[in-house]
Amino acid sequence: MSQPSSSADLSRYQRQMIFRGLGEDGQRKLLNSRIAIVGCGATGSSIANLLARAGVGFLRLIDRDFVEMNNLHRQMLYDEQNVLEGTPKAVAAAQRLHAINHAIQIEPIVTDFNPGNAIALAQDVDLLLDGTDNFETRYLLNDVAVKLGVPWVYTGVVASYGMTTTIVPDGATEHFGREATPCLQCIMGPEPPTGGPTCDTAGVIGPIVSLMASISAAEAMKLLTGKGEINRGMITVDLWDNSFEQFGIAGRNPECPVCAKHDFRFLNAEVGSRTAVLCGRNAVQISNPGARISLPEIAQRLEALGRVSLNDYLLRAHIDGFEFTIFPDGRAIIKGTEDPDLAKSLYARYVGA
């Protein structure tokens, strides 16, 4: 990617550069930075929008899912045409962001962020940003960040409530000029929190998404430019109750399995075919790392059994009351059941990979 060669190339960032906290040198640092955003739903797409407009030079957008109608009230990069076409979120986001800022590089990756690909997806970027919707993936992200020495920003949103903290592992301190912070497991314990409300059970409103994404994008800009004071605590906001708080976090846990002992349990999980129930969607995801399949061949096979549609990124089929969304990497989302065993059986019967 070519970098700006004259002040005219920076004209789109003029109002940003005259902010004395950033300046032209800060803007050039953004243009030379590389980030990966894991998850391009509400929070992730909003962060991507802000950072693409801010001029971060390279954005890798990682998401496993496709655009649905119930996304549109809060996921600002997508529209009804994306729903009709079944466009993967990473692709739809990249298309929209290229139209907003053609001078930066945007790489959409339609995949599940998992132990088999996490290092490859994260090892060549300066910063990781959390746009995920579950703590198991966040704990994997935490493992990857600590192992690679890459900072990351945790962001969670549900209902009208959001929270965020910035995590700087030991390996990132010299490059970023920041003191190390506790990692996510130091803060939240060795097991991912479970049983709390989700967007599917408690709902979510768009304004809290935009607010928390803005805080996280600002943290990214501070880290990438070496300017400003990063959030070393936990910021929590409830827009419905007008509650805005920032509280400190205890120091690093000397017994932390991750940042103290480098026991990367989530990263080192056995890789293979596995399932994940997608909360609130009556659907199961089947992952099959390493598989490559021919969507046209499967479409031809399934056309006699039900309604089938195909685009460059996915195949969708309606068979026996189930909806199959199948991706070229062998992954599938099967709607109509929350039973992993049934989903595996359906996958074997109709996909066969």
Predicted confidence at residue 6, as pLDDT, reads: 43
271, pLDDT greater than 50: no
* Model confidence pLDDT, tens digit, residues 22-54: 999 999 999 999 999 999 999 999 999 999 999
Q: Which of 196, 193, 170 is nearest to 183 (CA)?
A: 170
Low-confidence winner among 6-20, 225-239, 294-308 (lowest mean pLDDT): 6-20
Q: Note the CATH number of domain 7-247.
A: 3.40.50.720
Q: How confident is the model at residue 7 (pLDDT cuts 50, 70, 90)?
A: very low
**pLDDT for position 195:** 60
The predicted-structure confidence for 161-181, as pLDDT tens digits, reads as follows 999 999 999 999 888 889 999
Query: From start to end of 159-257, where are the E strands?
Result: 161-167, 234-238, 243-247
CA distance 240 to 43: 18
The backbone torsions φ and ψ at residue 352, rounded to the nearest 5 degrees and listed phi first, read 75, 5
pLDDT in tens, 115-169: 989 999 999 999 999 999 888 889 999 999 999 999 999 999 999 999 999 999 9
pLDDT for the residue numbered 138: 95
- Residue 272 binned pLDDT confidence (cut-offs 50, 70, 90): very low
For 278-342, the DSSP string reads ETTTTEEEEE-TT----HHHHHHHHTTTSEEEE-SS-EEEEETTEEEEE-TTS-EEEES---HHH
Q: What is the pLDDT of residue 197?
A: 74
pLDDT in tens, 78-94: 999 999 999 999 999 99
Can you give the pLDDT at residue 353? 55
pLDDT at 4 over 60: no
One-letter amino acid for residue 115 of the chain: P
Q: What is the DSSP secondary structure assignment for residue 347, as one 8-state letter?
A: H
**pLDDT at residue number 121:** 98
| CATH 3.30.310.10 for domain 274-350 | yes
Distance CA 122, CA 143 (A): 11
pLDDT attached to residue 290: 63
Coil/strand/helix, residue 229: coil
Domain coordinates of the chain in residue numbers?
7-247, 274-350
Per-residue pLDDT of 315-326, as tens digits, reads 999 998 999 999
The secondary structure of 202-225, three-state, reads HCECHHHHHHHHHHHHHHHHHHHH
Helix (H, G, I), strand (E, B) or coil at 204: strand
